[in-house]
Structure 1
């Protein structure tokens, strides 16, 4: 997963955000440090926590992008018990002060521009998430680029680790227009003091400018069930190979590793 840009807006609405208003964080991944970000509007400096990234090559910055290799991530268990590789870059925000971080008391939007020159394998996902993992992990709202049998698409879903459910809310096929190099993924809490969360997407050119505006999913979901805050994450997953595939990989590990490295480079 290659992320070109990560933005967080607080207060206002989508129209304000599209005009660049109410910007709190604009992360261009240009300082070479995956856990240290730029200064925040209004004071403070952005920091990140890397989750399930014990291999130092799992997450890094290079060439003005955040590179997340889920195949190198630690194993994680999903809400329904499935096992896979999952790495998260978590934006460290306050989860106790009702006026700080990403609280229910404020409207906010989280947006990532994900490069289209790195697409997920079957069973893998690249995207963003609003997460309450600091609490009961019942509200893990995700918007991701995925690969299905029918092709690539954008999936809006929610994982509930408390009740062990995964709910697909909306899906649309990837349809990048001519000139698009990035997929813009957004999760929004549009109304202060509401628990409703929605999702939107669009396409961007090499300058980061939108091509054709943004499209919103009609489906919505909820967060803030048991807490007054959420946190934003960039997330990449990779499926665990079937046993037969493991045997093939182990049998030709050197050759396969070389092929994968050259393809990534």
Structure 2
């Protein structure tokens, strides 16, 4: 890293620290891109400065913190927000839309002409998952197609949709691209590949145990299943999943497997 870049990143870190609020965390990725997240949902919010204006991706820090989010943004850029993009329609990502659109911010649905941001649509976490690539900062926002704070949730697209979504992300940018999940710490493409490998191994394991006739309760106590779940626990939480969430993860995986079997 050259001296000028090191100095710039130091200045960015100071800017981020100054903009921190009680409920919103700020990470400076580059001069033109920040990642913000709120305490309530931990949703990763993109703040992108473009030639077309200031763009927000998934502006939802929690309904009680929307005014606080707006204040933090003004501290960073001192200019109005012009556009909103959503990775998908779930409320923990799109729930802040109305707060900003009521002030005249444009919600972009479908294709956009925002300079520097390219867009792909996949089906994995939901029927319409939007992937956004900001070329100037080499950063990809993937929503809940990828989550580094929770287990994978590929229920709308099944295994095929999940694989296609990951392939789509891997084709964008380059090997140095920063991949921003819907929740949790941003990672690189190697981490995304590992996430896919673990997810596919999870599905194969649940499929095999289900074929063998094990009940959901029996699957929950299987050592390999327990070990596989722990691979998604990147922050080392204890416990990682509440029992109801763990059971639901297995049940919904079985539903995906059965749905795919029925469609053959």
Structure that is richer in helix per residue? 2
When normalised by structure 1's length, the TM-score is: 0.26
> Which structure has the greater CA radius of gyration?
2
Q: Which has the higher contact order (CA 8 A, sep 6+)?
A: 1
When normalised by structure 2's length, the TM-score is: 0.26
